[in-house]
A and B are shown apart, each in its own frame.
Chain A
């Protein structure tokens, strides 16, 4: 087996394997997603966006790794989101080896939508559960909570570091709803992706300095999202987070991480949730 990086030159070959591996998705779904990732501002050094696996010169597998960067416990960290992987059936026994090779580098890796089989492989490769599932807040209801809370202000009004402001602007251009939570002199960035469940428009938390920050200021955030046409808010959570009432919890869709991370935060910027929805 041989792995070679996916970049602007061979993304068409990656597209062919992805289309073969995920026939339930259209070719244009993958083509558009790959183009967005290739154009991602998070590819600061034109990093590879994944790897093609070849056996005997033939492409039989693919793994997408979306590059990003985030501030971590020890400073800036390289982060890669394992967005999708596939290996043709006769060679599927090599999938764990392919992933083992990919995640061997010094970086943080996330898997936000692992299948049951992928969850088993993740655990063997050193991944840990980042969040056990998620909470869903019905916004028309949570908006009614009356408590003194912080204010939601626009990005233009906020005091933010330049790179953080750029991240918010870039995600707004990618279709996300962005804002800043002003709590006294503290300004906390917020990014929400748009989603639809059971024909209802909603949002998912993509970036927050803390899950507790969302829960503590749920009323003002709910009203802000309602004004943006959203009816529910989905947020990654662990059972321990679920003490905050008023939410529907689901613990069947865990997310995984390999590497040091702050579990109280959520940072899915420049991930599959942005590029593939």
Chain B
């Protein structure tokens, strides 16, 4: 059971990293712990775009409280956020 959860998170993380690498050139070497909010690689529109991508890609409904800095700290936190919403 635990393996399934880990596998899902890994898949989510892989998708998120792929998106970040493709969309934001400054994040070509992004990994699970790369800071996002502090990196300067994503502007404010980019964050909206990123959240919209997560909503569309994983079919999750985004609420106001989801737009929390702690969810966007790094790709790992983003993957955990998506996992919680699934």
Contact with B along A71-108 (1 / 0, CB 8 A): 00000000000000000000111111100110000000
Give the chain B neighbours of A100 by CB distance below 8 A: 48
Per-residue CB contact flags for chain A residues 1-39 toward chain B (1 = under 8 Å, else 0) read 111000000000000000000000000000000000000
Within 8 A of A (CB), among B60-83: 64-65, 67-69, 72
Interface status of A136 (Cβ within 8 A of chain B): no
Chain A residues near B67 (CB-CB < 8 A): 1, 94, 97
Could you say which residues of chain A place their CB within 8 Å of the CB of B72?
93
In the complex, what distance in Å separates the CA atom of A96 from the CA atom of B43? 10
From A96, which residue of chain B is reached at the shortest CB distance? B48
Does more than half of chain B's interface fall in helix, strand or loop, or is it mixed?
helix
Complex contact B64–A121 (CB within 8 A): no
Nearest Cβ on chain B to A122's Cβ, whole angstroms? 10
Q: Which of B44, B49, B64, B68 sits near A95, CB closer than 8 Å? A: B44
Q: How many A-B residue pairs have CB under 8 A?
A: 35
Option from A1, A93, A97 in Cβ contact (under 8 Å) with B37: A93
- Residues in B with CB closer than 8 Å to A92 are 44
Question: Is A212 located at the chain interface by the 8 A CB criterion?
Answer: no
CA distance A92 to B40 in the complex (A): 12
Distance in angstroms from A3 CB to nearest chain B CB is 7
The reply to whether the CB of B47 lies closer than 8 angstroms to some CB of chain A is yes
Structural contact, B45 and A121, CB atoms closer than 8 A: yes
Residue B30 is within 8 A (CB to CB) of chain A in the complex:
no
B68 contact set on A, CB distance < 8 A: 1
Q: How many residues of B contact A (CB 8 A)?
A: 15
Does A154 make an interface contact (CB < 8 A)? Answer: no
Contact assessment for A120 and B45 in the assembled complex, using a CB-CB cutoff below 8 Å: yes
The distance from the CB of A34 to the nearest CB of chain B, in whole angstroms, is 25
Indicate if the CB atoms of B64 and A101 lie closer than 8 Å.
yes
- Choose one: B37, B42, B48, B69; the contact of A124 (CB below 8 Å): B48
Given A93-B37, A97-B51, verify A124-B45 contact (CB < 8 Å).
yes
Pick from B42, B43, B44, B49: contact of A94, CB below 8 A.
Answer: B44
With both chains docked as a complex, state the minimum distance between the C-beta of A62 and any C-beta of chain B, in angstroms: 16
Interface centre among A93, A120, A121 (most CB of B within 10 A): A93
Residue in contact with A1 in the complex, picked from B43, B44, B48, B64, CB distance below 8 Å: B64
- A residues near B37, Cβ cutoff 8 Å: 93
A96 engages B45 (CB within 8 Å): yes
Docked pose: A121 CA to B43 CA in angstroms: 11
Instruction: Give B residues with C-beta under 8 Å from A.
Output: 37, 42-45, 47-49, 51, 64-65, 67-69, 72
Top 9 A-B pairs ranked by shortest CB distance?
Answer: A96-B48, A93-B44, A93-B47, A97-B67, A1-B64, A95-B44, A96-B45, A1-B67, A96-B44
Given contact pairs A93-B43, A93-B44, A121-B45, a sample of 16 additional A-B residue pairs in the complex whose CB atoms are under 8 Å apart? A1-B64, A1-B65, A1-B67, A1-B68, A2-B64, A3-B64, A92-B44, A93-B37, A93-B47, A94-B67, A96-B45, A96-B47, A101-B64, A121-B44, A124-B45, A124-B49
10 interchain pairs, CB-CB under 8 A: A91-B69, A92-B44, A93-B47, A94-B44, A94-B47, A96-B45, A97-B51, A97-B64, A100-B48, A120-B45
